[in-house]
Amino acid sequence: MSDMNISYDEKTRIFKLDTARTSYLIGIVDDEGFIGHVYYGKIISDSSASYLMRTGEAPFVPSQNSRDRSSFFDAFPMEFPSCNTGDYRESAIELLDARGHNGVEIVYQAHRILKGKPGLSGLPATFGGETECMTLEIDGMDKVLGLKVTLRYSIFEDVDVVARSVSVKNMSEESFFLTRLMSASIDMDQEDYRLLTLHGSWARERHMESREIGCGKTSVGSTRGESSHQEHPFMALVSETAAQERGSVYGFHFIYSGNFIAQVERTQFDSLRVQMGIHPKNFCYQVKPGEVFQAPEVILTYSDEGLGGMSRTLHDLYRNHLIRSPYKDKKRPILINNWEATYFNFNTEKLLDIAREARKAGIEMLVMDDGWFGRRNDDNTSLGDWKVNEEKLKGGLKPLVDQVNRIGLKFGIWFEPEMVSPDSDLYRTHPDWAIAIPGRTPCRSRNQFVLDLTRREVLEYVYNSVAEVLHSANIEYVKWDMNRQLTDLGSLYLGRENQGELSHRYVLAVYELQERLIKEFPDLLLENCSGGGARFDPGMLYYSPQIWCSDDTDAIERLVIQEGTALIYPLSAIGAHVSDCPNHTVGRSTPFSTRGNVALAGTFGYELDITKISEEDKAQIPEQVALYHRYNDLVREGDYYRIASYRQNHFYDCWAVVSKDKKEALVTFVQVLRRPNHHSRMIKLKGLNPEMRYKVCEGTNPDEGVGCVYYGDTLMNAGIPMEEMWGDCQSRLIFLAAEGSGV
């Protein structure tokens, strides 16, 4: 019998959405049909718990006490709070009608319970079949405005998740302008929750930060036209005593790649209003009569097993219900990228030299990065001119690709399709194609502008340019980059009343481009990138199974970056490479083995000149390649457990991946700093079957040696000793195999 169910109690007017371990309740109250939030959390048995909305307390509902209607709105836990009608907390919807008024009041009209999960037109979203998902749609109306709002909730058979989205339909005869539309809003009591968010900058993305939730509004967001390096479209409410495997956690994650806001408001009554959606700054969207505006999707998850429970739920959701690529369940080819090896200074022979050495070491793909087109000898020119530079690549692209294939490697290529250089044939011909405000000095970043993809002719030019290159040779991988953020928000295509639509329309255009690309080239491995990890978000995972995590490839910096990333994303999505030392970002030198072990917790590849590295380092590449092939299925498909955090203890880092059947585990330990006069430390493992006996071996050679054998409960409760290693930045892999597993 399925654990997943959506029910409606006609008598109490309560909707109940149950996953295997969580319940979500919505109630309709009063004659007017206010839509209230009843409960979200650990699964409960009662199908009606309307008392949780406290409508039996003064000031009571408006039909019983209309003189204090404002007091009702000021405290009632709204499921989709309206605007300018008495609720002084943040609203979920705001608009300007034809008379310039901004009052909105949404009340219940109808509902539907569906098998399966409808898609969202033009937007990425989670998916599932009729046996995997159920969906509740609640229609609310503002009859004064002729406005219909549809709230959608989908639940899944295999993960404890509620996927929420909102659409707005104009059923009047006049246009209105949306100025705020949150995809999810929840009112709940503040108990002892702290706010967990992810912050950073270029080369230090997704650092975890926890803070107290004070009175008033606390928010993170981006108005940069993308999800950004600086903030991330995620937040979690974490109980004061929560840890990796215990305590309550509410996670919220936005499936969108543009401007966003994630906000918690603590009120006078010590309640919380939690909201997530498109950032209202620079957002003003005209909805004409009969039109529908669809907001992106927010993922909600509740865990009573701490941060680790939330992480594993989101990992499973994204692997099974968001990533669509044929590569999602397959090993990715081990690639070598020439960016840090050569930057712009390369030619055909240099690339072939790298390919030959890479093939000897077991590497499977050569990726040609920036500098292959136009007159691109530095980053000041030629973006938009996607024609091969034959001074570098004699005879063009196809002869190079054919030779690389004959050597035995696949071939991949880098694009930055959304951009244009002022020094380019494209810009000289079409300066009006760039996003700009007429009369103002344009803001350059990396000496480039952003193309106005909301213009159909621009979008078609961009797509055809990329497709023409991909058709010209056997190209099996694309790295899609975006190296600057949006400024000067002006479009010569959009009208005066529609300029506030530019940022959202831009994101929709990017989605259209990538959707077309993966449909025309279904076997293509697409990796998204934006100056590293500035567009590492769930929206991009819908189109590419992996995203470049950060331009910082230093193994120690990556410990913190990848910890924050793996908090919410599966390891299979995290673009990670072994690079040369001293590292090109921070100048640090780390052992080649540690660089490899850290990159194994991701897609795995190389970012170096294999023709120039030391023979000692080069000799380790075949060993690392063998480790990848030995463990990648486990890393890609297994459950992730965070055991220790260098970010917190400042000395060492440790994580594990455990197979779904608990028969295998791979533990990675990184000793960042060695301490004098210090002995081994006990590392308590997680996620094992307490009743299974495990053979514990060094992960570099699990098939050699006897290995010690212990019960899972011993390894988790007492731990295993991790001896102090000589020197800083050292690492070990420990492999565990259950007795009788055939491993």
The DSSP H or E segment spanning 562 is: helix 555-566
Find, among 147, 204, 118, 120, the residue nearest to 507 by Cα.
120
Cis (ω within 30 of 0) for the bond into 81?
A: no
How many residues does the structure list for the chain?
743
Pick from 453, 412, 461: which is nearest to 435 by CA?
453
Tokens at 426, concatenated: 């494209």
Annotated active-site residue in 481, 554, 609, 653: 481
Which one is catalytic: 97, 370, 452, 551?
Answer: 551
Please answer whether residues 568 and 234 qualify as being in contact, where contact means their C-beta atoms are separated by less than 8 angstroms.
Answer: yes
Helix (H) or strand (E) holding 571: none
Burial class for 29, CB neighbours closer than 10 Å (0-12, 13-18, 19+)? buried
Number of Cα atoms under 13 Å in the Cβ half of residue 92: 27
Got the DSSP string for 366-411? EEE-S-SBTT-SSTTS-TT--SB-TTTSTT-HHHHHHHHHHHT-EE
Q: For 302, which DSSP code?
A: E
Amino acid identity of residue 626, one-letter, is A
CA atoms within 13 A of residue 553's CA, in its CB half-sphere:
27
Decide: helix, strand or coil at residue 234.
strand
CB contact burial 96-132 (16+ within 10 A = b; e otherwise): ebeeeebebbbbbbebeeeeebeebeebbbbbbeeeb
Helix axes 397-407, 348-361, angle to 10 degrees: 20
For residue 253, what are its two tokens? 């994650």
Please say if 353 is a catalytic residue: no
Listed in sequence order, the DSSP H helices in 45-171 are: 69-75
Burial class from Cβ neighbours inside 10 Å (0-12, 13-18, 19+) for residue 157 reads middle
Beta bridge partners of 639: 658
Classify 79 as helix, strand or coil: coil
- How many angstroms separate the CA atoms of 734 and 743, rounded? 14
Q: Establish whether 551 is a catalytic residue.
A: yes
DSSP string, 439-453: TSPP--BTTBEEB-T
Give the Cα separation of 575 and 526 in Å (integer).
11
Extract the tokens encoding 677. 């006069």
Choose among 386, 374, 372, 377: nearest CA to 418: 386
- Catalytically active residues are 481, 551
